[in-house]
């Protein structure tokens, strides 16, 4: 799995939008600025597991009319239980607070279950889904994830492709 340092360095170099950084599940920013993006890990800051799974939160506190987006490469929503840690996070409450109660999420598993590309997928989701909000283009609440996930094939093939595209 990619480290927070690898992800943050990549985003500083390649992303021009508002990226707040990588965070543990229990250490998310209290008041993210409008249209901001972040990557969160299911692990808490005091967990000794080194991190379990990265997800992306996109277009938080939207002031442009576009919905906020929660992205999990396993297709889970923000109330999904992490199967490694066997716990739920506060991601659902966080998304409700910082999306005006209106957010979309993907429901298609695009990552292989034994893969370690979750950080790559989270980076790619932010980079590809934030473009409309940065350019002023409108995206449809209902089709945001259908458009994004339609480019992927089998989870095993996807893991190889995403690592070729996003070199952390």
Q: Where are the alpha helices (DSSP H) in the chain?
A: 4-14, 91-97, 118-129, 131-135, 144-149, 155-165
pLDDT tens column, 60-100: 998 877 788 999 998 888 887 766 557 778 899 999 999 98
Q: At what angle do helices 155-165 and 118-129 cross, to 10 degrees?
A: 70
Query: What is the model's pLDDT at position 5?
Result: 95
Percentage of the chain exceeding pLDDT 90: 42
- How would you classify the pairing of strands 54-60 and 68-71? antiparallel
Angle at 127 between CA 126 and CA 132, to 5 degrees: 95
Take residue 29 and report the two structure tokens written for it: 């920013």
Q: How far is CA 71 from CA 14, 35, 48, in A?
A: 19, 15, 24
CA distance 32 to 30: 6
Mean pLDDT of each 10-residue bin along the chain, 168 residues long = 93 92 96 95 86 92 85 86 72 92 82 92 85 44 53 83 90
Query: What is the model's pLDDT at position 132?
Result: 46
Three-state DSSP class for 152? coil
**Radius of gyration of the chain measured on its C-alpha atoms:** 15
Please state the length of the chain.
168
Query: What is the model's pLDDT at position 7?
Result: 97
CA distance 154 to 46: 35
Query: What is the model's pLDDT at position 138?
Result: 45
Which residue(s) pair with 104 in the sheet?
A: 69
């Amino acid at each position: 799995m990619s480290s927070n340092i690898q992800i943050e360095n990549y985003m500083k170099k390649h992303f021009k939008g508002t990226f707040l950084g990588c965070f543990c599940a229990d250490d998310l920013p209290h008041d993210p600025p409008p249209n901001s993006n972040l990557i969160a890990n299911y692990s808490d800051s005091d967990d000794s597991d080194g991190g379990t799974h990265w997800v992306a939160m996109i277009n938080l506190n939207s002031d442009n009319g576009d919905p906020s987006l929660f992205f999990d490469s396993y297709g889970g929503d923000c109330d999904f239980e992490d199967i490694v840690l066997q716990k739920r996070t506060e991601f659902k409450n966080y998304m409700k607070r910082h999306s005006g109660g209106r957010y979309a999420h993907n429901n298609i598993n695009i990552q292989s279950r034994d893969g370690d590309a979750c950080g790559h997928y989270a980076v790619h989701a932010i980079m590809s889904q934030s473009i409309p909000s940065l350019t002023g283009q409108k995206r449809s609440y209902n089709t945001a994830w259908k458009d994004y996930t339609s480019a992927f094939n089998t989870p095993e093939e996807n893991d190889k492709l995403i690592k070729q595209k996003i070199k952390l």
